[in-house]
Amino acid sequence: MTTPLLEVAGLTKRFGGLVAVKNLGFAIAAGEILGLIGPNGSGKSTAMKLIMGIERANAGSVRLAGREIVSWPTHRIARAGIGLVFQHSRPLHRQTVLENIKLALLPDSLFHLAAETSVDARARAIGERVGLGAVLDRHPTTLPFADLRRMELAKAIARDPEVVLVDEPFAGLTMAEVESFSALIRSFREEGKAVLLVDHNVKGVAALVDRVLVLYLGERIAEGKAEAVMRDETVRRVYLGGAIETHARAIAPEKSGVALLKVEDLTVFYGKAQALARVALEVHEREFVSVVGLNGAGKSTLFNAISGLVPYSGGINWQGTALAGKTPAAIARGGIAQCPETRELFGDMSVQENLDLGGQRQPPAERADRLAWLYDLFPILKSRSKQLARTLSGGEQQMLAIARALMMNPRLLILDEPTLGLAPVILEQLSKALERLRETTPITVLLGEQNVTFALPHADRVYVLEHARIIWQGPPDRFAAEAGAGYL
């Protein structure tokens, strides 16, 4: 067996009380592609940053061809032979594509005033190789999204690293583009480089990788061939959950008349990347609707469009009137409260103050009533009411975020991935709270989730979002049979 080019052992990173990466270890040999897979918040991006020295590890070792590099600064690690292909970057906009590639070929010198003539030829050759030959003299702002990703790849190739880290190689690309990117990444293997692909799901990279390592809550839960990992029980539980329970209530659309929220033909672009394509969706009064999809599928974009936070084309109707052109504040006052993925709590305010802010627009008597009701719904918040929000645990923060949204007395509560980064025991508490919310109040809920076990039990109806499109919709009890298989 060949000695591994990159060896990671005991790698640990803590952010305050949160352990983002726990005792992670793996090795990649020359000419091997390893997929580092995990749901959002699993620590895979942190692991990549630790290897690159962008974040400092609390413990552990990273060896490049036998040399310990874990405490080195990023630029030294890069010079030693590790390259990182960023998912998003800010290219030099005043320079051409060629000059952007040339940048990566320059030595780290203050006195290097003019690039050698060979640099130009090499930059051109690399540009041709990644398929940018025709656009070398254009400015990055005029390029389509896929070409910008190609440029990032070109910069990594220019450094000629022995180890290449690729962050979500296929996010936002079309099928044809995925093909040509896969070919480029395969060429790394043929050149004897060690490649680490970081991605959300196994399916996307299965054809490309030699081995897969699955991370969940900072820990390795499985490692092996892609097919074996996809069959792995623990992995299935993380992505699909264990036994899926469903409790759909029959709320027939015809009974409730006009849909509370009706989304038609919704399309959103971020610059050149398409985030949503002709999405249609309905939510009726008192209904609990779940939108499930992996990260990057477009869930947050959908919710942000409803809340008026991103520009879109198509129609979003709230109780029969179009929301287009209304400010996010007006939409929120109209009765749509979003509880974003990032929670957006006021960290330096107490639990009580956060809740009071949520209830700003309510009459004082009603505010007090709601507060009492919410403290009853989330008893833990009552005992923490004087504590600063940022000192709460992840689960408590999530409950606070939901409670704050409920303080606004919304008609529609949008929950964007409430389970993000939470431990299973917390999920259960959260699930119970949602259950009570559903049974005891007339509230309408739109839930976005990656975790199907969490999303399905409460749902009356389910939509599956994949690559910016709704690919399935139906009652939750049919999900496992009809849509579950394609979900890993």
Partner 1 sequence: MRIVFALVVLLVMASLPFWVSAYILAVLTVAYYFGVFAMAWDLLFGFAGEVNFGPTFLIGLGAYTAGLLDNHGVPVWLDVIAGALAAVIGGLVLALPALRLRGPYFGLITLVAVLVLQQVIVIFAGVTGGEIGLTINDVLSVDPGHNYWLALVFLMVSGVILYSLSRSAAGLILQACGQDAIEAQALGFNVAKHKLAAFAVSALFSGLAGAMLVFYLGTASVDTVVDISVGVQIIIAAVLGGRRTIVGAAIGAVFLIVAGEILRPLGQLNTFVVSAIALAVILFFPDGLVGYLLRRGERA
Q: Which of 29, 115, 244, 349 binds partner 1 (CB under 8 A)?
A: 115
Distance CA 442, CA 422 (A): 27
Q: Which of 16, 17, 111, 425 binds partner 1 (CB under 8 A)?
A: 111
Residue with Cβ nearer partner 1 (94 or 255) = 94
Site string for partner 1, 327-346 (x = CB under 8 A): --------------------
Is residue 183 at the binding interface for partner 1, with CB under 8 A as the rule? no
Residue with Cβ nearer partner 1 (79 or 333) = 79
Residue with Cβ nearer partner 1 (152 or 417) = 152
Is residue 139 at the binding interface for partner 1, with CB under 8 A as the rule? yes
Q: Which of 54, 59, 65, 280 binds partner 1 (CB under 8 A)?
A: 54
Shortest distance, position 76 Cβ to partner 1, whole Å:
8
Q: Which of 1, 16, 17, 90 binds partner 1 (CB under 8 A)?
A: 90
Shortest distance, position 165 Cβ to partner 1, whole Å:
9
Residue with Cβ nearer partner 1 (78 or 215) = 78
Is residue 84 at the binding interface for partner 1, with CB under 8 A as the rule? yes
DSSP labels for 332-354? HHTTEEEE-TT----TTSBHHHH
Token code pair at residue 143: 């390029």
Is residue 155 at the binding interface for partner 1, with CB under 8 A as the rule? yes
Is residue 109 at the binding interface for partner 1, with CB under 8 A as the rule? yes
Amino acid at 423: A
Is residue 52 at the binding interface for partner 1, with CB under 8 A as the rule? yes
Q: Which of 103, 309, 357, 380 binds partner 1 (CB under 8 A)?
A: 103
Residue with Cβ nearer partner 1 (106 or 228) = 106
Q: Which of 18, 23, 63, 86 binds partner 1 (CB under 8 A)?
A: 86
Is residue 169 at the binding interface for partner 1, with CB under 8 A as the rule? no
What order of strands is seen across the sheet that includes strand 219-224?
Answer: 82-85, 163-167, 194-199, 33-37, 211-216, 219-224
Token code pair at residue 327: 């400010």
Q: Which stretch binds partner 1 (CB under 8 A): 1-9, 77-85, 409-417, 430-438?
A: 77-85
Is residue 118 at the binding interface for partner 1, with CB under 8 A as the rule? no
Distance CA 87, CA 431 (A): 33
Token code pair at residue 68: 């310990």
Helices (H), 215-350: 226-231, 233-240, 253-256, 299-306, 328-333
With beta carbons less than 8 A apart as the criterion, state whether 216 and 423 touch.
Answer: no
Is residue 129 at the binding interface for partner 1, with CB under 8 A as the rule? no
Q: How far is CA 90 from the centre of its chain?
A: 19
Shortest distance, position 87 Cβ to partner 1, whole Å:
11
Q: Which of 11, 78, 302, 401 binds partner 1 (CB under 8 A)?
A: 78
Residue with Cβ nearer partner 1 (61 or 87) = 87
Residue with Cβ nearer partner 1 (101 or 209) = 101
Give the contacts of 299 (CB within 8 A, at least 6 positions apart).
291, 293, 416, 417, 448, 449, 450, 465
Give the contacts of 194 (CB within 8 A, at least 6 positions apart).
4, 5, 6, 28, 29, 30, 31, 32, 34, 162, 163, 164
**Strand-pair partners of 35:** 197, 212
**Sign for the pseudo-dihedral over CA of 464, 470, 471, 472:** positive
Residue with Cβ nearer partner 1 (81 or 421) = 81
Shortest distance, position 167 Cβ to partner 1, whole Å:
11
Radius of gyration of the chain (CA): 24
Q: Which stretch binds partner 1 (CB under 8 A): 91-99, 127-135, 392-400, 448-456?
A: 91-99
Q: Which stretch binds partner 1 (CB under 8 A): 95-103, 325-333, 369-377, 457-465?
A: 95-103
Contacts with partner 1 by CB under 8 A: the residue count is 32
Instruction: Indicate the DSSP class of residue 390.
Output: G
Helices (H), 411-477: 424-440, 452-455
Distance CA 170, CA 211 (A): 18
Instruction: Indicate the DSSP class of residue 109.
Output: -
Is residue 255 at the binding interface for partner 1, with CB under 8 A as the rule? no
With beta carbons less than 8 A apart as the criterion, state whether 275 and 320 touch.
Answer: no
Is residue 159 at the binding interface for partner 1, with CB under 8 A as the rule? yes
Distance CA 454, CA 292 (A): 10
Q: What angle do CA 345, 350, 354 make, to 5 degrees?
A: 45
Give the contacts of 332 (CB within 8 A, at least 6 positions apart).
307, 338, 408
**Site residues for partner 1 per CB under 8 A:** 52-54, 73-75, 78-79, 83-84, 86, 89-90, 92, 94-95, 99, 102-104, 106, 108-115, 139, 155, 159
